[in-house]
Amino acid sequence: MATTWIKPIHINKGWSKSQSIAATIDYVIDPAKTQNGKGVTSYGCTPENATEEFMFSKDEYANITGREQGDSDILIYHVRQAFRPGEVTPEMANQLGHELAMALTKGENGFIVATHTDRNHVHNHIIINSTRLDCMGKYRNPLRSSKQLRKISDAICERNGLSIVEDPGHGSGPYSKYKENQKPTLRQELEKYIDEILKINSPNNFEHLLKILENANCKVKRRGKNISLCLGGQKRFFRLSSLSEEYSEASLRERIELTQYPSALHSSPMQSKITAIDARMKAIESLQKHANDYRKTEAIVKRYHKSGHDKNFFSQNAVAIKMHQDAKAHIDNLGLKFIPSIKDLQDEYSALRTEKQHMQQEMSLMQAKQTEVDRS
């Protein structure tokens, strides 16, 4: 279960734009709240320099469009997504937050996802730059945005096997139960029918999909650019163009494309690779610690050996000698012939983190498309 809210951030009274942005960003990426920064990911910006990068985009927006940002304009959006205690790990929470931000922005705006673990429930703080990455426009927060935010978050939670927040507007029952009791709309009925066809078949393109529908007791009629479908022998027709642009030819092509990918984060090959990267990053962290321990205690151990293993020397330096022995055992177990330099380990760690972020961004874009389909 995840609860959500969204809050626009304006210029604080007596502060500059930069100070107003920095105050919020500094709070959400606080190392004490984010496992020393491990719980911070981003898209289209770097967390450490996000304030400067956001300000640069706003200056570019003013230069390109000729529109200046006034005191009443929105600088950034602050989204919070909180999970039930014990329901998700910090790593999974961050992935879900990244997916939520990508679904909201469609990849057009830079954002930061900071997963906080300083309370008994894991929660995300998402900071979205109001100015688009192309500096040509702004993120538009729609009317009733809180409800839309919750629907997107619910769709993501459902797809990943999490419980759904209760709907406060429809009694005390679960929101999922409320949805079950609602009569499907024409769009939902059409979507369900098409999805059933897609699960059984694997159409190569839009034309192939229409042929499959025709062979599945679904009459297809073309009238110019309009396409009507008669579902399962029912008499009434659903004209795609009159329902929604979501059911245009382009959208149906996209739905076919989405069937080629797994819908759950944990089941995709890309997620398996991310898991492998995480494992390697943890191994590097451990190796870096032991390499540091080995080097800083090496001189003491040499003196110990030189003393002929003197008992008094050992008793005075027992902690350092034990640390050195543990570090050596760890390095020997890895089968390393020499201790890698700290710089090499840091460079590898940084490269892996960048690769992971790129893969998460690519996966989030894919999941954002799926979320649009799930909540339509």
What average pLDDT score do residues 159-177 get?
54
DSSP string, 311-325: HHHHHHSHHHHHHHH
Listed range (27-31, 114-118, 238-242, 322-326) with the worst mean pLDDT: 238-242
Instruction: Give the residue among 158, 198, 200 at the shortest CA–CA distance from 175.
Output: 158
Pick the CATH number of 2-161 from 2.60.40.10, 3.40.50.620, 3.30.930.30, 1.10.287.130: 3.30.930.30
Q: What is residue 33's predicted lDDT score, i.e. its pLDDT?
A: 95
Q: What is residue 85's predicted lDDT score, i.e. its pLDDT?
A: 85
* 373 confidence band (pLDDT: 50, 70, 90): low
**What is the reported pTM?**
0.52
- Let me know: does 287 contact 340? Beta carbons within 8 Å: yes
Q: What is residue 261's predicted lDDT score, i.e. its pLDDT?
A: 40
What average pLDDT score do residues 184-189 get?
56
- Let me know: does 202 contact 192? Beta carbons within 8 Å: no
CA distance 216 to 218: 5
**AA letter at 294:** Y
- Locus of tokens 């390499």: 291
CA distance 97 to 111: 11
Question: Given a cut of 50, is residue 178 above it in pLDDT?
Answer: no
Question: Given a cut of 50, is residue 263 above it in pLDDT?
Answer: no
Burial of 1 (0-12, 13-18, 19+ CB in 10 A): middle
* 243 confidence band (pLDDT: 50, 70, 90): very low
Helix (H, G, I), strand (E, B) or coil at 124: strand
The pair of three-digit structure tokens given for residue 85, joined into one six-digit string: 């205690």
Listed range (68-77, 79-88, 184-193, 285-294) with the worst mean pLDDT: 184-193
- Let me know: does 235 contact 224? Beta carbons within 8 Å: no
199 or 155, which is more confident?
155
* 148 confidence band (pLDDT: 50, 70, 90): confident
Instruction: Give the residue among 72, 164, 104 at the shortest CA–CA distance from 367.
Output: 104
What average pLDDT score do residues 347-375 get?
73
Kindly report the backbone phi and psi dihedral angles of residue 203, in degrees, each rounded to the nearest multiple of 5, phi listed first.
-65, 145
Q: What is residue 326's predicted lDDT score, i.e. its pLDDT?
A: 92
Task: Name the range with the highest mean pLDDT among 22-36, 219-233, 253-267, 328-342.
Answer: 22-36
DSSP string, 30-98: -TTTTTTTTTEEEESS-GGGHHHHHHHHHHHHHHHH-PPPPTTS--EEEEEEEE-TTSS-HHHHHHHHH
113 or 239, which is more confident?
113
Compute the mean pLDDT over every residue in the chain, rounded to the nearest whole number: 78
* 226 confidence band (pLDDT: 50, 70, 90): low
Burial of 282 (0-12, 13-18, 19+ CB in 10 A): exposed
* 154 confidence band (pLDDT: 50, 70, 90): confident
CA distances from 222 to 206, 228, 239, 241, 275 (A): 13, 6, 10, 11, 47
Question: Given a cut of 70, is residue 34 above it in pLDDT?
Answer: yes
Q: Where are the domains of the chain?
A: 2-161, 181-262, 267-364
| Helices within 160-215 (DSSP H only) | 175-180, 186-200, 206-215
